[in-house]
C-alpha cells in the first residue's frame, strides 16, 4: 500500500481564503513550501466551483509529483478521481470511508478527521491510512470545530488506538505553528503510540516566506524540544534514598554556588516574601510581570514562575508571552494555579495557560491539582478545602497528571506528593504553621524554580530539592525515614 512510503512529518493543508492566502497564487505558495521541505499536501477549498477545484488541483499535482510528495484532496473524491492524485482526506460529515475506498482503490491514501476516541477507533476499523486528530487549539481556519481537544485529548486517542490502529499513521491539526509544534508533539504522544507529524495551515500559507517557514517547521518537527526531560527513571526501579538525598543536597548547594535567576510573575501579596526567600536560598530574584521582558530574561539561564494569584486579561497575556519565551529558550517554567477552582474565570485561565505553552512543573494544593486535571472543584479562595482522597488516590492523581502533561506535578498538603509520571514520592517534612501563613505555597514554587535552574536533567529531583531547601534550610535533613515511606508509595502505582 502507499501508506508505507508516506512521510507525514510536515503536512501542509492549503487555505485559499483572502484572510490567509491574500492575493498570492496558491500554486506558487505551495511550490515554495515544497522546496522548504513539506512532506505531504492537502488541497482544501470549500468555496470554489468544481471546475476551479479540478483545474487548481491539476496544477498542484504537477508540482507535488515533481517533488515526489503525495497530493490529497479535502472531502472531494470526485476531484481526486478527476485529477488522478494520491488520495483524499475526509471529515466526519463527508462520504464514508468504505465508500471512498471502493471508489479510489486500495492503493489510495485516505485520511479521516477525528476528535474523539470513538471516531478514531471506527476509522481504524474501516481501514484509514492516517488520522487527522484535532482540533488542537481554537483556529480561524476551521469554523465547524466540534471540540478543542488539546494535547490531553490527543494523547487519549493515541493510547486508545495503540493496538487496533498500530499501523495507522497520525497527525495533529488545529492552530499549530512554529511556537507550539514541538510542545504539541511532545505532550500529545503516548508511550504506546506517537504522532507521526503535524498538519500546518496558516503557519505556512500565510507566511511571508513559505519556503523558509517550511524549513523552520520541519526542523522543529524533527528535533526534540529544548524542555524535553533528559532523565526519566524506569517505573518501580529501586530507589536508594541515601543516594537520592545526597543528590538533592548537591542541587541545593549548587544554587548557593551559582546564584541562578528566578523570574517571578507572581501575585501582589507575596512578591516581597518570595524575593526574600529566593535570596535566602541562594538565588537571584526578579519580580517582573511584564511579558515583553521575558525575551531577555529567558536567556540568562534561570527559570520562570507563573503564579496565577492575581488574574486579569492583561496578566494572562503577559504570562503567555513569557511562557513562550522560556519554552523557546529552553528555560524551565513552574506554574502555580492559585485558587484554580474558585471561579469560572480562574478555571478558564488554567485552560488558557495550559494551551499557551509547556510547564516543567505544576504545583498546587489538592483542589488546584484536581482542577488542572479537569475535575470540577469549587474552591473557597485559595484554600484547597477538605481533602476527598486517600494517600494512594493522591499519588495516582499526581502520577496520572504528570503522565498526561509529560512533566512534574507537585501537590502540597499535610503530606506532599511529587511525581514525574514514573517515580512518585510522598514527603512529610512540613510544619503545621506553613498552612497558617500567606504565601508558603507560592515561595515553594520560587524555590523549586531555583533548583530547576541548576538541575534540568532530572526535574523531579529538582522539585524534591525545593521541598528540602525550603523546609529544612539550615539544619540536617530529617526526612530520611519518611522518604522511605514515599519509596514504598511509588511501588503501589
pLDDT 10s digits, 133-177? 999 997 665 555 557 899 999 999 999 999 999 999 999 999 999
**Predicted confidence (pLDDT) per residue in 387-396, tens digit:** 889 999 999 9
Q: Does domain 2-221 have CATH number 3.20.20.70?
A: yes
Whether residue 423 contacts residue 460, with contact meaning beta carbons closer than 8 Å, is answered with yes
Cα radius of gyration rounded to whole Å, the chain: 25
Instruction: Tell me what pLDDT residue 492 has.
Output: 40
CA–CA dist 135, 56 (Å, integer)? 27
Per-residue pLDDT band for 467 (boundaries 50, 70, 90) equals: confident
Going by C-alpha positions, the residue among 83, 24, 8, 208 that lies closest to residue 74 is 83
Helix or strand (DSSP H, E) at 187 = helix 181-188
3-state helix, strand, coil in the chain (%, to 5): 45, 15, 40
Of 444, 148, 116, residue with least CA distance to 305: 444
Band of pLDDT at residue 476, cut at 50, 70 and 90? very low
Q: How confident is the model at residue 336 (pLDDT cuts 50, 70, 90)?
A: very high
Task: Give the model's confidence band at 337: pLDDT under 50 very low, under 70 low, under 90 confident, else very high.
Answer: very high
Domain ranges of the chain: 2-221, 241-490
Please give the C-alpha separations between residue 429 and each of 24, 149, 414, 479, in angstroms, as whole numbers.
64, 38, 9, 6
Strand 416-419 versus strand 408-412 pairing type: antiparallel
Question: What pLDDT is recorded for position 243?
Answer: 86
Known catalytic residues?
Answer: 442
Least confident of 149-158, 367-376, 472-481: 472-481
Q: What is the largest CA-CA distance in the chain?
A: 79
Residue 5: band (very low, low, confident or very high) from pLDDT cuts 50, 70, 90: confident
CATH superfamily of 241-490: Ribokinase (3.40.1190.20)
pLDDT higher than 50, residue 271: yes
User: Whole-angstrom Cα distance, residue 182 to residue 161?
Assistant: 22
% the chain with pLDDT above 90: 77
What is residue 382's predicted lDDT score, i.e. its pLDDT? 53
Q: Out of 44-58, 126-140, 274-288, 354-368, which region has the weakest mean confidence (pLDDT)?
A: 126-140
- The percent of residues above 70 in pLDDT, for the chain, comes to 87
CB 440 within 8 A of CB 459: no
Mean pLDDT of the chain: 89
pTM for this entry: 0.87
Q: What is the pLDDT of residue 384?
A: 52
pLDDT over 90 at 61, yes or no: yes
Q: What's 236's DSSP letter?
A: T
Helix count and strand count (H, E) for the chain: 20, 16
Amino acid at each position: 500500500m502507499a501508506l508505507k512510503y508516506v512521510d507525514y512529518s510536515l503536512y501542509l493543508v492549503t487555505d485559499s481564503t483572502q484572510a490567509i492566502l491574500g492575493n498570492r497564487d496558491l500554486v506558487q505558495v505551495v511550490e515554495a513550501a515544497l522546496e522548504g521541505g513539506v512532506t505531504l499536501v492537502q488541497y482544501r477549498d470549500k468555496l470554489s466551483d468544481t471546475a476551479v477545484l479540478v483545474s487548481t488541483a491539476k496544477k498542484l499535482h504537477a508540482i507535488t509529483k515533481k517533488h515526489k510528495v503525495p497530493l490529497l484532496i479535502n472531502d472531494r473524491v470526485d476531484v481526486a478521481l478527476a485529477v488522478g492524485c494520491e488520495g483524499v482526506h475526509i471529515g466526519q460529515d463527508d462520504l464514508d470511508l468504505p465508500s471512498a475506498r471502493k471508489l479510489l482503490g486500495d492503493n489510495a491514501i485516505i485520511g479521516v478527521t477525528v476528535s474523539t476516541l470513538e471516531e478514531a477507533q471506527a476509522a481504524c476499523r474501516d481501514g484509514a491510512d492516517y488520522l487527522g486528530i484535532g482540533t488542537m487549539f481554537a483556529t480561524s481556519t476551521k469554523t465547524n470545530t466540534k471540540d478543542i481537544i488539546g494535547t490531553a485529548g490527543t494523547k487519549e486517542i493515541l493510547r486508545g488506538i495503540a493496538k487496533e490502529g498500530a499501523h495507522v499513521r497520525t497527525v495533529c491539526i488545529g492552530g499549530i505553528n512554529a511556537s507550539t509544534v514541538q510542545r504539541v508533539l511532545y505532550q500529545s504522544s503516548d508511550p504506546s503510540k506517537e504522532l507521526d507529524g503535524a498538519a500546518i495551515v496558516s503557519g505556512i500559507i500565510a507566511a511571508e516566506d513559505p519556503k523558509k517557514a517550511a524549513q523552520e517547521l520541519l526542523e522543529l518537527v524533527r528535533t526534540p524540544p529544548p524542555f524535553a526531560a533528559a532523565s526519566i527513571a524506569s517505573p518501580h526501579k529501586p530507589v536508594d534514598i541515601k543516594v537520592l538525598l545526597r543528590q538533592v543536597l548537591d542541587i541545593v548547594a549548587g544554587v548557593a554556588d551559582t546564584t541562578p535567576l528566578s523570574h517571578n510573575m507572581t501575585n501582589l501579596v507575596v512578591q516581597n516574601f518570595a524575593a526574600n526567600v529566593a535570596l535566602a536560598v541562594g538565588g537571584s530574584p526578579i519580580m517582573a510581570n511584564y511579558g515583553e521582558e521575558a525575551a531577555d530574561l529567558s536567556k540568562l539561564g534561570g527559570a520562570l514562575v507563573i503564579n496565577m494569584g492575581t488574574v486579569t486579561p492583561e496578566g494572562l497575556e503577559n504570562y503567555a508571552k513569557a511562557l513562550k519565551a522560556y519554552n523557546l529558550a529552553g528555560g524551565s517554567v513552574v506554574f502555580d494555579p492559585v485558587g484554580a477552582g474558585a471561579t469560572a474565570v480562574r478555571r478558564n485561565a488554567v485552560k488558557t495557560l495550559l494551551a499557551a505553552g509547556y510547564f516543567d512543573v505544576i504545583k498546587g494544593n489538592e483542589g488546584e491539582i484536581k482542577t488542572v486535571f479537569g475535575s470540577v472543584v469549587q474552591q473557597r479562595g485559595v484554600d484547597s478545602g477538605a481533602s476527598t482522597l486517600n494517600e494512594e488516590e493522591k499519588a495516582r492523581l499526581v502520577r496520572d497528571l504528570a503522565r498526561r502533561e509529560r512533566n512534574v506535578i507537585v501537590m502540597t498538603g499535610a503530606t506532599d506528593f511529587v511525581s514525574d509520571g514514573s517515580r512518585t514520592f510522598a514527603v512529610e517534612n512540613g510544619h503545621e504553621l506553613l498552612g497558617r501563613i500567606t504565601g508558603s505555597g507560592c515561595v515553594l514554587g520560587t524555590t523549586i524554580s531555583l533548583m530547576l535552574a541548576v538541575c534540568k536533567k532530572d526535574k523531579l529531583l529538582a522539585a524534591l530539592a525545593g521541598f528540602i531547601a525550603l523546609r529544612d534550610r539550615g539544619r540536617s535533613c530529617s526526612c530520611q525515614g519518611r522518604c522511605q515511606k514515599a519509596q514504598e508509595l511509588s511501588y503501589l502505582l
